[in-house]
Structure 1
Amino acid sequence: MVGINREAVSIREIEKSIAEEAFERGLCEPQPPKTKTGKSVAVVGSGPAGMAAAQQLTRAGHDVTLFEKNEAVGGLLRFGIPDFKLEKTVIDRRLKQMTAEGLTIKTGVKVGTDITVADLRKQFDAVLLTGGSEQPRDLPIPGRELQGIHVAMQFLTQENRRVAGATFSAEETISAKDKHVVVIGGGDTGSDCVGTSNRHGAASVTQLELLPKPPKERADSTPWPLWPQMLRTSTSHDEGCERMWSILTKSFEGEDGQVKRINCVRLKWVEREDGGRPEMVEIPGSEFVLEADLVLLAMGFLHPVHDALIKDLNVDLDPRGNVQVGADFMTSEAGVFAAGDMATGQSLVLKAIDGGRKAAASVDAWLRGGVSVLTN
């Protein structure tokens, strides 16, 4: 099995080729329901989980309305992932199919503000929350208030809108052109910031990671079939980036209110005798300073934003702040379900799609008072 100790044969590429060929041949035709149930469902949030659930529920015969607070459908797919990784035509062709099947889409509508939760519950027989995990992890250290320090999604969503044709004033624009960019966070979002900064024409790009550098080969601690703990290098890194591991950011410094430097220290990770999570220890005398005109915080997300939607629905939250659901994806409020990152915390697009489809089957079963007609 090639995936045991080196890169596996990519099933993803095989599946992608099949899907592209199917669309090219016109085989992915709309599948409108043959019969209608007379039931209505509100799907709140149009990211991967919301899109997947809305399509399944529409095909099951329900009257489905997909609500999106932004100006276009897609959530993270449209506004978070750069076009050089995901062309938005992939989203648009799926939406064309979904609307042909009977889905109603309402963009620019923030549920809880533009439409109250009370009105939503009156108008729909069931509600499915798929708003994602959008509360970013911040870095509250000295100098955080300086200009030029942004959470990653501020940078990436603006770039996606710009590519789509939107314009921004000079004061609003977040540009990496000719700047020394430091990306704090070593995950996929950080990688997207690196690639976007390079496309802007940054003077330099440095990516900092708190954790130690992973091994080049699969770690013994994550044998197959576990997800391998190993070094991953994206095309964004290959385009130009200095990567640094086991780095703690201590403070930001600036001039005239603008960030100019980052004070850092190197870490060592010490194994605990009880086998618990390793502890980080600052290495004495390893302090150093990085030049930085633009700092992008890509340290992940904590939980869904606890806005009027969550508060007014009065749904229970789990200890991490996510919407708590049971095995049937229902929240503490009858008829209100949740799926995707809103229920699980930040995860992969694939898992969000899977969660959306499974939640749709649970919603369908609940509305029918028995067994769902949907198969995941």
Structure 2
Amino acid sequence: MGKPTGFLDYKRQNSETIPPKKRIQNFKEFHVALPLEKQRIQGARCMACGVPFCQYGQIIGGMASGCPLNNLVPEWNDLIYHGKWELAYRRLAKTNCFPEFTSRVCPALCEAACTCNLNGEAVATKENEHAIIEYAFAQGLIAPHPPKVRTGKKVAVVGSGPSGLAAAMQLNSRGHKVTVFERRDRIGGLLRYGIPNMKLDKSVIDRRIAIMEAEGVEFVTNANVGGDIKASRLLKEYDRVVLACGASNPRDINVPGRDASGIYFAVDFLTSVTKSLLDSNFADHKFIPAKGKKVMVIGGGDTGNDCVGTSIRLGAASVLQLEMMPKAPDTRTEQNPWPEWPRVCKTDYGQEEAIAVFGHDPRVYQTTVTEFVKNKKGEVCKAKLVKLQGQKDEKTGKMRMAPVEGSEYVVDVDLVLIAAGFLGSQKYVTDAFKVELDGRTNVKTAPGEYQTSVPGVFTAGDMHRGQSLVVWAIREGREAARAVDESLMGYTNL
């Protein structure tokens, strides 16, 4: 530990962000990193505490506490404080395949569990991680290293999101021949089309894919396994198959008027915008337009926030965001102590931009839609809303959100984006491989394992655990790779 009193001597300093009204003029990333010397001081704030919950990554109070990848946070924080950036990268790379992704889009479970949170501000671990990985790329520390020996075994990975990419990277490093199949036109899964460019610039994905290709991973796009490409072919041609297709079934809102035009799932909206941006910088106009529209986003999570920020960049006239649940408290309650994940209200970049542009927070809590109203053209023009309140279910004893009688009201809308989460794996893929599912339509395995009910077929990521974070997907991909390797070789050193 280089600076025992660092957490007392130095205050937390975050990267600067471009002001909301300026950054909404484009789809570029808007965080301006600290100079390395200032970031080094942030490493000094790490306490090297006796029990580093930052790297714990287990469930406490029903939610994860600390990094699911078990990143060696105190070690690389200390190394950057001493200016040993290359060593810091080597330690980071031991546990995380893609720090360039997590340091941009992860909600920083490590920081929520930081001991400094007890009496101050957490160590800026996420930005330290970002500084390490970008230093490594800038200095040429991340170069292709193809395996020197090949095993002769072939593995097909279906899906190129973070879990599929992590599994492919690990299995290729072991010497297996890995082919990744992606049904869309570009590699990346939800990293590519589910996360807007201002959160994760797609050149960051391309940079990593180029390295993986040089190391021997083969990528096949426009390859719809279970549709155009038969499952039987993969089972015949490959020694093992890893299903990492994500939780791709969006949850719908089934109310009268749902068939009106102008109502879209959030993932379709975000995909159309990113694809048009990448294809033509919007010149092709092949995206769902929001300019001049009264936009209503249904859902208060990360995807809902991304829809808010994207709609504003496209020139929306107004944005309303519905949340079914009550507003979370601004600070931890006694029932939510450290090191549990803090269940507190978070104002994300999209909401910040809405406040700057429209003068108020776009979120309306404890509210849901009861009906969509169509005009003569069949387009959505209004939405009937109702307030909700917590109510105990007499049969189950559980609390549920119930409508408040007499609280109905109507709002004008002409673009509705449904960001209500996902329900599980897609049936045509699981049917094609004949894998067993659990009650949530996720691919079923024994607890803590990745082998499906079909010999030689494994699974990882959201398809296995349900909708979750990128960091969990990477962990699942790494662990699935370990299971595949052991099944092929009789042992594993992954």
Range of TM-score over shorter length: over 0.9
Matched with 2:218 is 104
1:77 paired with 2:198, answer no
Query: Which residue identity is paired with 2:452?
Result: T
Matched residues in 2 for 1:293 and 1:281: separation?
26
| 1:5 to 1:198, Cα distance in 2 relative to 1, 3 A | farther
- Kept in 1, the 8 Å contact 2:250–2:420? The answer is yes
Over residues 94-137 of structure 1, what are the superposed CA-to-partner deviations in whole Å (9 max), with x where a residue is unaligned? Answer: 11110111111111111122221111111000000000001000
Matched with 2:242 is 128
Matched residues in 2 for 1:373 and 1:127: separation?
20
Matched residues in 1 for 2:261 and 2:331: separation?
40
Over residues 180-204 of structure 1, what are the superposed CA-to-partner deviations in whole Å (9 max), with x where a residue is unaligned? Answer: 0000000000000000000011110
1:140 is matched with which residue: 246, 254, 264?
254
Q: Name which of structure 1's ranges 233-242 and 201-210 shifts more when overlaid on structure 2.
A: 233-242
Deviation at 1:284, TM superposition (A): 2.1
1:88 paired with 2:202, answer yes
2:144 is matched with which residue: 30, 33, 52?
30
1:266 paired with 2:380, answer no
| 1:133 to 1:5, Cα distance in 2 relative to 1, 3 A | farther
Matched with 1:356 is 477
By percentage of residues, which structure has more strand? 1
Over residues 161-189 of structure 1, what are the superposed CA-to-partner deviations in whole Å (9 max), with x where a residue is unaligned? Answer: 0110246876x641110110000000000
Matched residues in 2 for 1:163 and 1:119: separation?
35
2:444 is matched with which residue: 314, 324, 342?
324
| 1:78 to 1:6, Cα distance in 2 relative to 1, 3 A | farther
Q: Name which of structure 1's ranges 240-249 and 267-276 shifts more when overlaid on structure 2.
A: 267-276
- Kept in 2, the 8 Å contact 1:182–1:206? The answer is yes
Task: Map 1:1-376 to 2 at 5 A.
Answer: 1-4=115-118, 8-166=122-280, 173-240=287-354, 241-256=361-376, 257-270=378-391, 276-307=397-428, 309-326=429-446, 327-369=448-490, 371-374=491-494
Query: Which residue identity is paired with 1:28?
Result: I
- Kept in 2, the 8 Å contact 1:6–1:217? The answer is no
Query: Which residue identity is paired with 1:333?
Result: V
Matched residues in 2 for 1:5 and 1:285: separation?
45
| 1:145 to 1:42, Cα distance in 2 relative to 1, 3 A | same
Query: Which residue identity is paired with 2:341?
Result: W
Deviation at 1:3, TM superposition (A): 2.5
Over residues 56-107 of structure 1, what are the superposed CA-to-partner deviations in whole Å (9 max), with x where a residue is unaligned? Answer: 1000000100000001100000011000100011111111110111111111
Secondary structure at the counterpart of residue 66 of structure 1: strand
User: Tell me, which stretches of 5 or more residues in structure 1 are unaligned?
Assistant: none
Aligned residues: 371
| 1:233 to 1:6, Cα distance in 2 relative to 1, 3 A | farther
- Kept in 1, the 8 Å contact 2:276–2:284? The answer is no
- Kept in 1, the 8 Å contact 2:324–2:401? The answer is no
- Kept in 2, the 8 Å contact 1:329–1:362? The answer is yes
- Kept in 2, the 8 Å contact 1:5–1:217? The answer is no
Query: Which residue identity is paired with 2:437?
Result: L
Q: Name which of structure 1's ranges 148-157 and 324-333 shifts more when overlaid on structure 2.
A: 324-333
TM-score w.r.t. the length of structure 1 is 0.95
Q: Name which of structure 1's ranges 214-223 and 337-346 shifts more when overlaid on structure 2.
A: 214-223
Superposition RMSD on alpha carbons, in Å? 1.7
Higher relative contact order (CA 8 A, sep 6+): 1
Query: Which residue identity is paired with 1:318?
Result: D
Secondary structure at the counterpart of residue 423 of structure 2: strand
Matched residues in 1 for 2:254 and 2:393: separation?
27
TM-score w.r.t. the length of structure 2 is 0.73
- Kept in 2, the 8 Å contact 1:33–1:59? The answer is yes
- Kept in 2, the 8 Å contact 1:5–1:218? The answer is no
Matched with 2:30 is none
Over residues 292-321 of structure 1, what are the superposed CA-to-partner deviations in whole Å (9 max), with x where a residue is unaligned? Answer: 0100000000001111x3102110001100
Query: Which residue identity is paired with 1:145?
Result: D
- Kept in 2, the 8 Å contact 1:4–1:223? The answer is no
